[in-house]
Chains A and B, each alone.
Chain A
Amino acid sequence: MKLITVAGPPSSGKTSIILKLIECMDRPKSSIGVVKFDCLTSFDNISYEEADIPIQIGFSGKTCPDHYFVSNIEDAVQWGLQSGFEMLITESAGLCNRCSPYIKGILSICVIDNLSGVNTPRKIGPMLKFADIVIVTKGDIVSQAEREVFAFNIKQVNILAKIIFINGITGQGSFLLAKYLQQALDINTVRDMKLRFTTPAAVCSYCTGETKIGELYQRGMMKKMEFKKI
């Protein structure tokens, strides 16, 4: 089974891209499954169900989405194998610009949208930097110049990435992505594989339910800001 991980900021178009991708791959619908790692709620299951694509959704709730991803990915792979999929696509929303649910050797895709501002690629960090393919959506409503500056800024952060512009509404561009996916590795487990980047480290009192503000209540791993005198 081929495993593909897709990440991107909320509402960047991940679900639309995956749906268009599956549509143009021209394979039996039951041969491709999707696992969606979301935070609190999600309505994307409706879109997948409408398209007859097997979907499993998990909510990270109060834990960090990346920690949640890495602790569940092997189970997701086993679910995919048992369901007889040829391909399993995981979809996760990166929320803190530091998320990067990518595994070494597993094809990793980052989806960002052209409306998020031209400098956004330079701010996203590991989620963009460690992706093999960067998909840019919503390019149909901005100027050519903005698309080019955006692609340039992606290159700045990730020289090796392939950049593909895809229109999530018409599917224009998704054919090329489908071609890429054929190169993805066939696996039957991700056990012992490694993440491309460490997950955000946070073991402090606030992780375990503290809500009060003040030095007295801060314990564990803390990072303090430096404020300059004016």
Chain B
Amino acid sequence: MKTLDFMKLINSQSLGEIIEQYPIASDFLANFRLNSISKESGLPQALEDVEDDILEEFGLDKNDILQNFCSFLETFAQTQSSIRMVSSITINGGINKLKESENISLTISAGEIISIVGPTGSGKSRLLNDIECLAQRDTPTHREIMVNGRELDDSQRFEMDGKLVAQLSQNMNFVMDLTVREFLEMHAKCRMTPNPNEVVQKCFECANQLTGENFSEDTKVTQLSGGQSRALMIADTAYMSDSPIVLIDEIENAGIDRRQALILLAKKEKIIFVSTHDPLLALSADKRIVIKNGGIVKIIETSEVEKQSLEAIEKFDNTLLKLRNCLRTGEQITEALLKL
């Protein structure tokens, strides 16, 4: 529906009926301090009782309100965004800090996991920046990022509105004072999810599967442990985020099944980059990009041997986890515990 169609709608239906169809409409009213106007009549009639002074404080008159209301509904009634139609991205090499050519071209399809490895300061975040702004040979690295095999012009790059890349990192926290359920509902609402309750429930169950320490949906998000928070963030990114690309900057091994987390995101047809020093994460990827001196020096496909070694690595990991839990609960470390 276009703005004009909404204009017809607000003239033919009462405000109450419109709010029922588009619950988001009440947010619009609240933004302009109009929450208490009559819902019985149509918006144009209801506005007649509103003093001009109030609207003037927002720099609007009654006509502007009607116009804005309609374009507001038009914007938020679109549930499908074009950004989700990313089926592949291609990284075409540029140059490293020594001006040497990278000489690579890597196409990554939805559902693939790529790890990025390299010493601190080697240029991992530069690569991420290039992906995020869809570099077209105009960044310091001269790399080119293509989407679905095509180059992009500036207007297409600006269309992203920060929605291309979802990021997950170690130092992220929840700052909202909400329970887990309220938090998920709030996110579902702004996604305009057609069946919010179902998605919220799935997301909550999945978060609990990812963490060893279960939590209830009435827990405040700010009270979750590190592992629980990470699990909720990953489940939420998988089920509710629009972004086709997910960038993970290390996930700490405490209290969360990292491999499962990656598999879950990949299943949701996202392109996943994991910047990591952790063998378990690095080898869970299909390929890994090796970075040195600000440039990509190698792309290694995870070999069969490496994939098989994952099990052994997971055992090491579990042993460490066990030791950690023993210390936590006041037990002593015994030789038996160290046996793999």
Seen from chain A, the residues whose Cβ lies within 8 Å of a Cβ on chain B are: 114-115, 117-118, 122, 125-126, 129-130, 136, 139-149, 151-153, 155-157, 159, 162-165, 170, 172-173, 175-176, 179-180, 197-198
CA distance A160 to B108 in the complex (A): 32
Contact partner of A179 (CB less than 8 A), chosen from B157, B176, B191, is B157
CA distance A155 to B163 in the complex (A): 13
Q: Are A180 and B167 in contact (CB under 8 A)?
A: no
Q: Are A156 and B175 in contact (CB under 8 A)?
A: no
Q: Are A144 and B236 in contact (CB under 8 A)?
A: yes
Q: Are A145 and B233 in contact (CB under 8 A)?
A: yes
- Interface size band for B: 35 or more
- Top 6 nearest A-B pairs (CB, nearest first) are A152-B190, A145-B187, A165-B162, A176-B133, A144-B166, A197-B59
Complex interface residues of chain B between 54 and 72 (CB less than 8 A to chain A): 58-59, 68, 71-72
Tell me whether B215 is interfacial, beta carbon within 8 Å.
no
CA distance A199 to B171 in the complex (A): 40
Task: Name the prevailing secondary structure of the A interface residues.
Answer: helix
Task: Give the residues in chain A near B31, CB-CB below 8 Å.
Answer: 122, 156-157
Task: Give the residues in chain B near A175, CB-CB below 8 Å.
Answer: 129, 133, 135, 139
Contact partner of A145 (CB less than 8 A), chosen from B59, B138, B240, is B240
Q: Are B75 and A179 in contact (CB under 8 A)?
A: no
Task: Give the residues in chain B near A143, CB-CB below 8 Å.
Answer: 172-174, 229, 233, 236
Known contacts: A144-B168, A148-B242. The answer to whether A156 contacts B27 by CB under 8 A is yes
Task: Give the residues in chain A near B167, CB-CB below 8 Å.
Answer: 139-140, 144
Tell me whether B101 is interfacial, beta carbon within 8 Å.
no
Task: Give the residues in chain B near A139, CB-CB below 8 Å.
Answer: 167
CA distance A184 to B66 in the complex (A): 30
CA distance A180 to B172 in the complex (A): 28
Tell me whether B250 is interfacial, beta carbon within 8 Å.
no
Q: Are A162 and B236 in contact (CB under 8 A)?
A: no
CA distance A141 to B58 in the complex (A): 32
Q: Are A142 and B162 in contact (CB under 8 A)?
A: no
Task: Give the residues in chain A near B139, CB-CB below 8 Å.
Answer: 175
Q: Are B161 and A151 in contact (CB under 8 A)?
A: yes
Q: Are B27 and A146 in contact (CB under 8 A)?
A: no
CA distance A115 to B171 in the complex (A): 14
Contact partner of A172 (CB less than 8 A), chosen from B132, B171, B237, B243, is B132
CA distance A140 to B169 in the complex (A): 8
Tell me whether B219 is interfacial, beta carbon within 8 Å.
no
Q: Are A162 and B59 in contact (CB under 8 A)?
A: no
Tell me whether B340 is interfacial, beta carbon within 8 Å.
no
Known contacts: A145-B183, A179-B154. The answer to whether A136 contacts B236 by CB under 8 A is no
Interchain nearest-CB distance for A170 vs B (Å): 6
Interchain nearest-CB distance for A20 vs B (Å): 11
Seen from chain B, the residues whose Cβ lies within 8 Å of a Cβ on chain A are: 27-28, 30-31, 58-59, 68, 71-72, 75-76, 125, 128-129, 132-133, 135, 138-139, 154, 157-158, 161-163, 166-169, 171-176, 183-184, 186-187, 190-191, 229, 233, 236-237, 240-243
Max chain B CB contacts within 10 Å: which of A152, A155, A164? A152
Q: Are A149 and B158 in contact (CB under 8 A)?
A: no
Task: Give the residues in chain A near B237, CB-CB below 8 Å.
Answer: 144-145
Closest to A175 in B: B133
Contact partner of A141 (CB less than 8 A), chosen from B172, B183, B186, is B172
Q: Are A144 and B27 in contact (CB under 8 A)?
A: no
CA distance A159 to B68 in the complex (A): 9
Contact partner of A136 (CB less than 8 A), chosen from B125, B162, B163, B176, is B162
Q: Are B175 and A126 in contact (CB under 8 A)?
A: no
Task: Give the residues in chain B near A172, CB-CB below 8 Å.
Answer: 125, 128-129, 132
Closest to A182 in B: B154
CA distance A180 to B183 in the complex (A): 33
Closest to B74 in A: A159
Interchain nearest-CB distance for A181 vs B (Å): 12
Q: Are A198 and B186 in contact (CB under 8 A)?
A: no
Task: Give the residues in chain B near A198, CB-CB below 8 Å.
Answer: 59
Q: Are B28 and A163 in contact (CB under 8 A)?
A: no
Task: Give the residues in chain A near B30, CB-CB below 8 Å.
Answer: 122
Known contacts: A148-B190, A162-B158. The answer to whether A115 contacts B125 by CB under 8 A is no
Interchain nearest-CB distance for A100 vs B (Å): 8
Task: Give the residues in chain B near A164, CB-CB below 8 Å.
Answer: 162
CA distance A152 to B154 in the complex (A): 23
Q: Are A162 and B161 in contact (CB under 8 A)?
A: yes
Closest to A183 in B: B154
